[in-house]
Amino acid sequence: MPLIKRQIAVVGGGLAGWSAAVGFAKAGFDTILLAPASTSDRRSTALIGPSVDFLAGLGLAEGLREAGQPLVVMRLIDDTGRLLRAPTVEFHASEIDLDAFGQNVMNADLLRMLNEIGETLSDRLTVVEEGLVSIATDADGVTIETATHEIRAGLAVGADGRNSPVRTHAGIGVRKWSYPQSAIVLNFAHDRDHDSISTEFHTRTGPFTQVPLPGRRSSLVWVEEPKVADLLADVSLSRLSRMVEDRMHSILGAVEVEEGVQCFPLSGAAAERMTAERIALVGEAAHVFPPIGAQGLNLGLRDAADLIEVAGRHRDDPGCPAMLRDYEAKRRVDVVSRTAAVDLLNRSLLTEFLPVQAIRSLGLGLLARGSMLRRFVMKEGVTPGSSLRRSPRRTPPDDAPLDPLVP
């Protein structure tokens, strides 16, 4: 079996893995990516500001502009029909001096762009379309076997998703939980312009979120009880189109749902640690979110950006204990706070307990009015920790640096 030696071995060719691999190669590390073929993904991702900056730094600025749709206004509508309802809240990117909060882009387009950039980096990035079969670490490095290769590296990046074999090997425990909900995910065409507005209806069964795509198209994540979601996934497209239009109170006019409706049971997971000897986790290998508040991949990209930045400070020996300590410390607060916030938001929608509804209404009431809290929440939503530093700049440059998270 041929032995391949590299500084970094990224395991997993999802969006987090590809972004990390391209980022490491761009930052000058000899990198290998294990990316077994995957099924096509019809979801889109709402990339928030720093994710767009990070991907621009990888060379995707033009591609994102062409394939993505700017998110200029985010609107939250309480559609629970409860006694205590929250007022409608609209956040405008201009309120925090941004042109847009981010870009909504099809996952398949994002993966294609990362593949294309990867091809231009072939002197520093080797892609093997095989999965990891075994992994062993020692104080000096990590040895990985695939069906036909043996790989030796200083650091293994576990980007191998929610059931991460790398995490299991490393003995990192994981806390998993599920929600009594499933998400129907689909794309649809509509009669009226969306004006770059994303609208999230908060319903008794969970959020119903429309996110604009280029043209008169949008994506939808519709959270329902699992039984209802299963039924919805099976109804005819014309009937589903009418149901979507109804749920949206026709704000985008007539709706035409496209082929490829998918259903995802909602769950969450959090790894106990993000590192082990010569191993660092990124993306869903470290944390799984329900698709609420567009957090999952955005957090995964922040993992990748931070890991690359930290490795740059330990260039002589990426994967050494000091580097892994720095990475663990850098990611902990972001991951823990986002996990708790998304969980709280989702559970507050489901509860029938009046005081919780009151607190949620009060909170959104404060956000609906111009207030310090409103500005703080918007800035933190886009760039975590930024409110405690200084204002984000208005337009990300085409070739933003690889560490956009440090303004």
Ligand X SMILES: Cc1cc2nc3c(=O)[nH]c(=O)nc-3n(C[C@H](O)[C@H](O)[C@H](O)COP(=O)(O)OP(=O)(O)OC[C@H]3O[C@@H](n4cnc5c(N)ncnc54)[C@H](O)[C@@H]3O)c2cc1C
* Nearer to ligand X (CB atom), residue 26 or residue 43: 43
Site map 171..200 versus ligand X, x via CB under 6 A: ------------x-x---------------
| Tokens of residue 298, six digits | 């955005």
Question: Min. distance of Cβ 380 from ligand X in angstroms?
Answer: 16
Distance CA 132, CA 124 (A): 20
Contact status, residue 58 vs residue 118, Cβ threshold 8 Å: no
Question: Min. distance of Cβ 160 from ligand X in angstroms?
Answer: 4
Distance CA 148, CA 330 (A): 36
Query: Does the protein bind ligand X through residue 291 (CB under 6 A)?
Result: yes
Site map 144..173 versus ligand X, x via CB under 6 A: ---------------xxx---x--------
| Tokens of residue 360, six digits | 């949620």
| Tokens of residue 310, six digits | 């930290």
* Nearer to ligand X (CB atom), residue 290 or residue 314: 290
| Tokens of residue 294, six digits | 């567009």
Query: Does the protein bind ligand X through residue 381 (CB under 6 A)?
Result: no
Site map 15..54 versus ligand X, x via CB under 6 A: xxx----------------x-x-x----x-xx--------
Distance CA 278, CA 95 (A): 43
Name residues whose C-beta falls within 8 Å of residue 143's C-beta, 6 or more positions apart in sequence.
135, 136, 137, 150, 151, 152
* Nearer to ligand X (CB atom), residue 80 or residue 103: 103
At 152, is the secondary structure helix, strand, or coil? Answer: strand
* Nearer to ligand X (CB atom), residue 59 or residue 68: 68
| Binder among 12, 102, 118, 318 for ligand X (CB under 6 A) | 12
* Nearer to ligand X (CB atom), residue 13 or residue 68: 13
| Tokens of residue 30, six digits | 């000899």
Site for ligand X (CB under 6 A): how many residues? 32
| Tokens of residue 259, six digits | 């082929």
Name residues whose C-beta falls within 8 Å of residue 239's C-beta, 6 or more positions apart in sequence.
none
Q: Please, how many CA atoms are within 13 Å of residue 205, restricted to the half-sphere of its CB? A: 18
Query: Does the protein bind ligand X through residue 377 (CB under 6 A)?
Result: no
Query: Does the protein bind ligand X through residue 103 (CB under 6 A)?
Result: no
Question: Min. distance of Cβ 369 from ligand X in angstroms?
Answer: 27
| Binder among 224, 284, 306, 403 for ligand X (CB under 6 A) | 284
Query: Does the protein bind ligand X through residue 295 (CB under 6 A)?
Result: yes
* Nearer to ligand X (CB atom), residue 213 or residue 248: 213
Question: Min. distance of Cβ 366 from ligand X in angstroms?
Answer: 25
Instruction: Give the other-Cβ count within 10 Å of 23's Cβ.
Output: 27
Name residues whose C-beta falls within 8 Å of residue 107's C-beta, 6 or more positions apart in sequence.
15, 41, 42, 43, 44, 45
| Tokens of residue 311, six digits | 């490795």
Query: Does the protein bind ligand X through residue 128 (CB under 6 A)?
Result: no
Query: Does the protein bind ligand X through residue 383 (CB under 6 A)?
Result: no
Q: Is 343 exposed, middle or buried (0-12, 13-18, 19+ CB in 10 A)?
A: middle
Site map 264..283 versus ligand X, x via CB under 6 A: x------------------x
Distance CA 233, CA 362 (A): 35
Query: Does the protein bind ligand X through residue 70 (CB under 6 A)?
Result: no
Distance CA 31, CA 155 (A): 10
Question: Min. distance of Cβ 39 from ligand X in angstroms?
Answer: 9
* Residues in region 301-340 near ligand X by CB under 6 A: none
The residues binding ligand X (CB under 6 A) are 11-17, 34, 36, 38, 43, 45-46, 131-132, 159-161, 165, 183, 185, 221, 264, 283-284, 291, 294-298, 300
